[in-house]
Structure 1
Amino acid sequence: MRDSTYKKWIGWEKLLMAGALLTLAVSCADLDEDPTKSRLAPGSYTNQAELELGVTGLYTQLNGMARMTTFVVSGWGGDDITTHKVSNKADFREYDQRVVSPLNARSASNWQNIYSTVRAANSVLANAKDLVLPDMNVQNRLIGEAYFLRGLIYFHLTRIHGRLPLQLQPDPIVDLPLASQAEVYQQIESDLKQAETLLPDVYPGVLEGAPRPNKGSAKAILARLYLDWGGFPAKDQSKYALAAAKAKEVLDNKATYHFALLPNLESLWTIANRFNSESVFTIAYNVSLNVPNQKFGKLGHPADLLGWQETFAEIRFFEDFPEGPRKEATYRTEYDWENFSDQANPVFKKIVGPPGDIPLDLFSTNRNDYYMRLAEVYLIYAEASGRAGTVTPAAWEALNAIRRRAAGKPFGTPDKTVDLTSGDIAELAYTERKWEFAGEYLRWADLVRMERVKEALSNRNPRVSKNKAGELLKEANPIIGSLETSNYFAPIPQNEVMLNPKLGQ
């Protein structure tokens, strides 16, 4: 057992080590051009090592851009997350208060990093076009990863900005216009379907949680894509049936893909358990290899607790959150947060970790990102089945499994005190997502696709939370921008529009 675990660990660690060495090589190089080119074998690939080098470069870039909260900046638009009311959090406050400027530095950095990775993925796919390796299984899974990562990051960016220019060649077209939203979704779908075909059921030599994606990872992200596609802005309701079908494929074959819900929700947020079966795609980190995750720990605490006050929980959302084990697993409820001296907001356990897990002065951690959890696949199946009009007992069971665990009960055992068997399952599952994924930067996308931004953000004022003086607490960052659909997507960064005026049309 120890030898098997070690081999799996090495399989993951070697990827990060290679990425760290590639990053070091880039940082030491004297380059005038795009440094991503140094991560790729020049010209057409002729052997497996060159293809592996190209794919490793993609993970190097993914880790580099995902390690900071810039990657998830749109998450502050949700009614679950807020930031500090002053300090140096202006870029996050713009999303929080719905006044995102074209000059927002986080938007600009995120855009540049994602398109840098897109160019690298395009190079990998172009360089591998005529390659024929002796082991086609190796070749397929490596090329499948390139398609998966390109589709994933395009999907990530369209959730922030909506319409995008679709760069699909190694040398970018400088005056490429914006694609329609349908065209963007179609390209993402195409990439993920390619990945679904090429990736193995289980990627060999890695730990749990799919730190290298497998066939089930691609299916799960496709299910998320179809759910979005059925809502705003595309509103193609035929996609709900596809979302339900693809989610069911994952659930029906979860053992094949080595996916499973964890019995204890809180265990997801511990560093020791950062590789686990609930994640259907994991972005892995390692501080000792100079690949740290800098979104957790200190960033979620107030100055009272040596924190950097970047990611707080909204008071009204906390007040409305149903009591029980899931709330305890989501927040540090033992804190006297109402009386924090600088800014009184609840603290996410999902961000700072359970007591004693992350030192108060630490923000570079080994925490992994669960880019998507299996719990979301369960709820996509339930919600999409309802919206498609194809509700089955299995759809109710998917919803109830998440509800049971939230109540601290065995998720696979029916329980009359928790289970639901009637009502609007689509709305019940949508609401369940609200609580299940609080603090995971997903709520904003849910509000957008269902056009419920105004409903959720019009009243975030606390109702009952008071300080020791008996004063009702106030919303730290009140809304000052529009809550209409015209303000759902962040503007394309101004520097990109200056380089390509077609992006502003």
Structure 2
Amino acid sequence: MKLHKIAPLLLLLFTACSKDFLKEDPRSNLTPDNFYKTSDDLNMAAIGLYTQLNGAFNQSAGFSTLWGGDDITVARAGNKISYSDFDTYQANSSNDRMTNWWSYLYSTIKSANSLINNYQNATGATEDARNQAAGQAYFFRALSYFFLTRTWGPVPLITDNKVDYTRTKAAPSDIYTLIVADLQKAETMLPDGWDGTKKQSGVDIPPTRGSAKALLANVYLTMAGWPLKQTDKYALAAAKAKEVIDNKATWGYDLQTNFADLWKKTGKFNHETVFGCYYNVNVSGWAWENYNMLTPNAYAPDDEGGWGDGYAEINFYKKFPAGPRKDATYQMVYFLNNDPNNAVDWTKVQHKHPYFFKFRDDDAFNPTNHVNNNWIGSHTVPIIRYAEVLLTYAEAQAMSASADATAYAAINLVRKRAGLSDLVAGLSQSAFRDSVIAERGWEFAGVEPAARWYDLIRTETVKKANSDRDASEEPLKNIPDDATHTFYWAPIPIGDQQLNSNL
């Protein structure tokens, strides 16, 4: 879309995509003293945030840290070994894939810090313009730290842009304190809606007040689990999610009627995406962060000319309830060598695993023969979906009070769309929670930011989930431990460890 036509100036100012965060990398003569003056300056700075976040979520690399879940696996060969290292619990600090998230998320934080620490200097802008710019920065910083601490645990907590190679890692509790504070600010500073190019097909592209509330609900839910185990946060998560549900019309949120429509190229702008990363392959010139590389090749099978970055674990697939959601999540028919006359099921493809169909349908994908005519696309990556808000409410309400009618109503909305009957009534608190966790696994299976991996971590069930692994899967090199939490967190990238011995 047009919003993503990032100017070269912004790329120079704000991107540090392939560099270690702690390295100095001066890009221009512009400084905070001479830049943050007008509304245009603030808008340019905000757009720079999207550049970096788009770079984090437009390729498989950073997602590799989520391969430890029981929903996705990959062949241990060639350039897939770095993914397989997380899948089989042998990743080390030299893993080249994970640094994509580490670098881009800290780069986003770096730009957010600059905006937060300087937006008040934009005296040529209105107060609303200053607040809206800062609200976006607080949201992006919170989102970035949320992914960082769930993935790496204790990480440097940086709120300035000073070069300091002696920073220590902050405890997750301190990181969550900042995340909550940032989102509470974003709630008050962001608008309920945007206009102009910031709204496409009736959908808000930047985060809104509703986006901040939805993210905060998920943060509270995570804080109630491991490692913080602050169970008082269940009530806060339920209350915040309910705000979003009760006021969904304000922000235009709702479930898509058909789950499959979320993953069609025609569903690029949809009202289920509470916040997402948007891409446009038709932007002229080369701008890496404008293009989505999750589609159409990344999860296509080798048999159809794809890259095979990951595919379903067999036992998870077998437990996945049949219905329209499963049919849209996985590829059901495969054309060997792209020949429709040689159609087979997943048991006949090279790696004998079901492949995910999410992200496949894009402008470059030919549904008649499954040929991918480009290795980049424009598919939206939903960071937060309204379905997650509903399931967050259901779990948090049950755990803070009881699995009442409102909790059942929330999960049953998701189940009904999936073609499932209502959840059995009268479940105990723990049984209801387990049902919600299972539902989340099916709803967000594969490469979605609302990842199965994070649910396994917060519920301390990583080992338990991976104990049900089909004998044909790549054997685990190490066994995670749900009591000691070994292999729960990714190792700090070696590049930053070499710069800072405190990491």
For this structure pair, what is the TM-score category when the shorter chain's length is used for normalisation?
0.7 to 0.9
Q: Are residue 106 (structure 1) and residue 97 (structure 2) matched?
A: yes
The residue aligned with 1:285 is 279
Matched, 1:434 2:441: yes
d(CA) in 1 for partners of 2:228 and 2:331?
Answer: 38
Deviation at 1:334, TM superposition (A): 2.4
Worse overlay, 111-120 or 304-313: 111-120
Mapping 1:200-215, distance limit 5 Å: 200-205=191-196, 206-207=199-200, 208-215=202-209
CA distance in 2, matches of 1:25, 1:107: 24
Aligned to 2:477: 480
Q: Distance in 2 between matches of 1:268 and 1:106?
A: 27
Q: What amino acid is aligned across from residue 242 of structure 1 in structure 2? A: L
CA distance in 2, matches of 1:26, 1:186: 26
Q: Work out which of the residue numbers 339, 343, 346 in structure 1 matches 2:354.
A: 346
1:333 aligns with 2:332: yes
Amino acid corresponding to residue 326 of structure 2 in structure 1: K
Contact 2:333 2:346 in 1 (8 A): no
| SS of structure 2 residue aligned to 1:106 | coil
Judged with a 3 Å threshold, the aligned counterparts in structure 2 of structure 1 residues 40 and 361 are, in CA distance, closer, same or farther, namely farther
Distance 1:361 1:40 in 2: 42
Whole-angstrom CA distance in 2 between matches of 1:338 and 1:47? 56
Which residue in the other structure is 2:251 paired with?
257
Show the 5 A alignment for 1:338-417.
338-340=346-348, 342-353=350-361, 356=366, 359-407=371-419, 417=421
Secondary structure at the residue paired with 1:266? helix
- Per the alignment, residue 17 of structure 1 pairs with 5
Deviation by residue 1:297-352 (Cα, 9 ceiling, x = unmatched): 11112221111111211111111111112111111122334444531110111142
CA contact (8 A) 1:297 1:363 kept: yes
Give me the whole-angstrom Cα distance separating, in 1, the residues matched to 2:98 and 2:180.
24
2:491 counterpart residue number:
491
Unaligned runs of 5+ in 1: 1-12, 409-416, 463-473
| 337-346 or 79-88, larger mean C-alpha shift | 337-346
Contact 1:36–1:120 (Cα < 8 Å) also in 2: no
CA distance in 2, matches of 1:26, 1:154: 18
Q: Residue 423 of structure 1 aligns with which residue?
A: 427
1:451 to 444, 447, 460: 460
CA separation of 1:109 and 1:439: change in aligned 2, threshold 3 A: closer
Secondary structure of 1:103 counterpart: coil
Paired residues for 1:164-243 under 5 Å: 164-205=155-196, 206-207=199-200, 208-243=202-237
In 2 relative to 1, CA 37–160 (structure 1 residues): closer, same or farther, beyond 3 Å? farther
The answer to whether the 8 A contact 1:240-1:384 is kept is yes
- Whole-Å Cα distance in 2 between the matches of residues 482 and 294 of structure 1? 31
Instruction: Evaluate the alpha carbon distance shift between residue 35 and residue 96 of structure 1 in structure 2; reply closer, same or farther with a 3 A threshold.
Output: farther
Which deviations, in whole Å up to 9, do the C-alpha atoms of 1:161-200 show, x marking residues without a partner?
A: 0111101002243211111111011111111111111001
Cα distance in 1 for partners of 2:405, 2:414 equals 15
Q: 1:471 — aligned with what? A: none
**1:315 aligns to 2:314 (yes or no):** yes
Cα distance in 2 for residues equivalent to 1:37 and 1:21:
9
Mean CA deviation greater in 223-232 or 123-132: 123-132
Gaps of 5+ in 2: 335-343
Contact 1:248–1:381 (CA<8 Å) still a contact in 2?
yes
- When residues 77 and 42 of structure 1 are mapped into structure 2, their CA distance, relative to the original with a 3 A threshold, is farther
Contact 1:283 1:369 in 2 (8 A): yes
User: Structure 1 residues 371-380 or 197-206, which shifts more?
Assistant: 197-206
The letter of the residue matching 1:429 is: V
Cα separation, 2, equivalents of 1:230 and 1:39: 43
Quote the RMSD (CA, aligned, Å). 2.3
Query: Do structure 1's residue 247 and structure 2's residue 241 form an aligned pair?
Result: yes
Structure 1 range deviating more: 437-446 or 379-388:
437-446
Which aligned pairs between 1:7-156 and structure 2 lie closer than 5 A? Answer: 13-19=1-7, 22-23=10-11, 34=25, 43=34, 45-133=36-124, 135-156=126-147
- 1:365-421 deviations in whole A, cap 9, x for unaligned? 11011001000000000001111124432221101111111117xxxxxxxx53543
C-alpha displacement of 1:84: 2.3
Rate the CA distance shift 1:122–1:36 in 2: closer, same or farther, 3 A.
farther
The Cα of 1:146 is off from its aligned counterpart by 0.7
**How many Å apart are 1:247 and its aligned residue?**
0.6
Distance 1:489 1:461 in 2: 24
Distance 1:222 1:281 in 2: 13
Moved over 6 A (4+): 24-27, 36-40
Q: Quick one: structure 1 residues 174 and 51, their matched pair in 2 at CA, closer, same or farther if it must change by over 3 Å?
A: same
Q: Note if contact 2:191-2:208 (Cα within 8 Å) is conserved in structure 1.
A: yes
- Code of the residue aligned with 1:432 in structure 2: it is E
Q: CA deviation at 1:41?
A: 5.6
Counterpart CA distance in 1 for 2:441 and 2:155 is 28
Measure, in 2, the Cα distance between the counterparts of 1:266 and 1:243: 28
Aligned residue for 2:469? 460
Residues in 2 aligned to 1:397 and 1:217: alpha-carbon distance in whole angstroms: 22
Contact 1:265-1:326 within 8 A present in 2 as well: yes
Letter in 2 for 1:422: G
1:260-271 aligned within 5 A: 260-271=254-265
* 8 Å CA contact 1:230, 1:238 repeated in 2: yes
What is the distance in 2 between the residues matched to 1:187 and 1:41? 23
In the alignment, what sits opposite 2:151?
160
Q: What SS class does the counterpart of residue 106 from structure 2 fall into? A: helix
Q: Give the direction of change, closer, same or farther, for the CA distance of 1:396–1:341 in structure 2 (3 Å limit).
A: closer
> Does the 8 Å contact 2:332/2:346 carry over to 1?
no
Q: Secondary structure at the match of 2:250?
A: coil
Shift of 1:33: 5.1
Q: Distance in 2 between matches of 1:312 and 1:263?
A: 26
Instruction: Indicate how the Cα distance of structure 1 residues 378 and 153 shifts in structure 2: closer, same or farther if over 3 A, else same.
Output: same
> Which stretch of structure 1 is more off in the superposition, 270-279 or 107-116?
107-116
The residue type equivalent to 2:437 in the other structure is: Y
Aligned residue for 1:18, secondary structure, equals coil
**1:80 Cα offset (Å):** 0.7
Instruction: Give the CA deviation at 1:294.
Output: 0.3
Shift of 1:16: 0.6
